[in-house]
Amino acid sequence: MANAVVFCSFDRGKDGLPAGAEEVLTLGRKLAAERGVDLDWVVLGPMSEAVAATASKLGVAHIDHMDDPALAELRPEAVIAAVHVYCRQASPGLVLMTQTFDARLVAPRAAARNGAGVVMNAVGIASKSDGITVTATAYGGDTRVEYDVAGPAVVGVVADSLLAEAAAVPSAPESRSIAVDLAGVQERVRVVQKAVTEGPRLEEAQIIVAGGRGLQEAQNYRLVEDLAAALGGMAGASRPIVDDGWTDSSHQVGLTGKITRPVLYIAAGISGASQHMVGCTAAKTLVAINKDPGAAIFKYAQYGIVGDCLEVLPELTKAVKGA
């Protein structure tokens, strides 16, 4: 158990499987084999059948389950406290988390509490004789950094950057129940309202028309929505107009929003700040509409329209509808 490589999951994604489980476990198995230690999976909160099936497919030695009423909703303070209890008992050498929104909150604080190092935004980890080298993105995805980490570490892994197909290595994982009492844990954040996440996901959209501050005012966001609808796509947005309430955060593209990979991305009145571009540079074709010919977005775009988006967007919508 001691110094194992551990995948720590505290969410239930599609089919009851935590986000990125297969990709991160595959990376974890490689690192565990190189270090000659076990690959263990600590599951916080309710357990799903998909966990056991995936663990036995991907070479997991132990499934360590921690449950407590405080973990039912997987709120951060309870999760951090549980990770602390686990690390105190099991002394893992390396804790891997899929870099989800919640992991960004949990990983650094869990690492600090356990006296471990932390690296977020990891896109690769290599073993070396005295620790690991973690390759991570930095500056909003503009560059890559290598961190040499000696000693225990918590690493937030961007699962999308790893192998999509996990190679099967069958195992018969032993299930262990790890006692934890979180009755005294107080959550510091109160959830006032949950964002609506029903319907199609921006991350999966093939066509996105996104608007930015160049739309001038909230009511003009409908020009973006109209073109998106005419093209059978979805509407996206830059952060400032989400912050100003022109649309809700499920439409935000970028570093602190959604990372999209559409076939076509039309950016209207968006300057091309790196934090926005992180979320759309994987688009096959990027079209920019901006009235400033020097706007940074034109460096990324395959097609550029220098003009007023308030005039260009309705014209494009008319042309698409007439086609």
Ligand X SMILES: Cc1cc2nc3c(=O)[nH]c(=O)nc-3n(C[C@H](O)[C@H](O)[C@H](O)COP(=O)(O)OP(=O)(O)OC[C@H]3O[C@@H](n4cnc5c(N)ncnc54)[C@H](O)[C@@H]3O)c2cc1C
Binding residues for ligand X (CB under 6 A):
212-214, 238-240, 252-257, 269-271, 273, 275-276, 289-292, 295, 308-310
Q: Is the Cβ of residue 106 or residue 255 nearer to ligand X in the bound state?
A: 255
Q: Which two tokens stand for residue 179?
A: 């006692």
Between CA 315 and CA 303 the distance in angstroms is 16
Tell the smallest beta-carbon distance from residue 105 to ligand X (Å): 15
Contact 22, 54 (CB under 8 A): yes
The Cβ-side half-sphere exposure at 87, using a 13 Å CA radius, reads 24
Tell the smallest beta-carbon distance from residue 238 to ligand X (Å): 3
Q: Is the Cβ of residue 87 or residue 289 nearer to ligand X in the bound state?
A: 289
Tell the smallest beta-carbon distance from residue 246 to ligand X (Å): 10
Q: Is the Cβ of residue 75 or residue 239 nearer to ligand X in the bound state?
A: 239
Q: Which amino acid is at 160?
A: D
DSSP 145-168: EEEEE-S-EEEEE-GGGS-SSPPP
Three-class DSSP category at 110: helix
DSSP 75-88: -HHHHHHHHHHHHH
Tell the smallest beta-carbon distance from residue 293 to ligand X (Å): 9
Tell the smallest beta-carbon distance from residue 144 to ligand X (Å): 18
Q: Is the Cβ of residue 35 or residue 104 nearer to ligand X in the bound state?
A: 104
Between CA 282 and CA 285 the distance in angstroms is 9
DSSP annotation of 18: P
Q: Which two tokens stand for residue 86?
A: 């686990």
Q: Is the Cβ of residue 47 or residue 306 nearer to ligand X in the bound state?
A: 306
Tell the smallest beta-carbon distance from residue 302 to ligand X (Å): 18
Q: Is the Cβ of residue 203 or residue 308 nearer to ligand X in the bound state?
A: 308
Q: Is the Cβ of residue 49 or residue 244 nearer to ligand X in the bound state?
A: 244
- Strands (E) in the chain, as ranges, are 5-9, 39-44, 62-66, 94-98, 117-128, 131-138, 143-149, 153-157, 174-177, 207-211, 234-237, 264-268, 285-290, 303-306
Contact 223, 245 (CB under 8 A): no
Tell the smallest beta-carbon distance from residue 118 to ligand X (Å): 18
Q: Is the Cβ of residue 104 or residue 213 nearer to ligand X in the bound state?
A: 213
Contact 42, 8 (CB under 8 A): yes
CB count in 10 Å sphere of residue 161: 16
Tell the smallest beta-carbon distance from residue 269 to ligand X (Å): 4
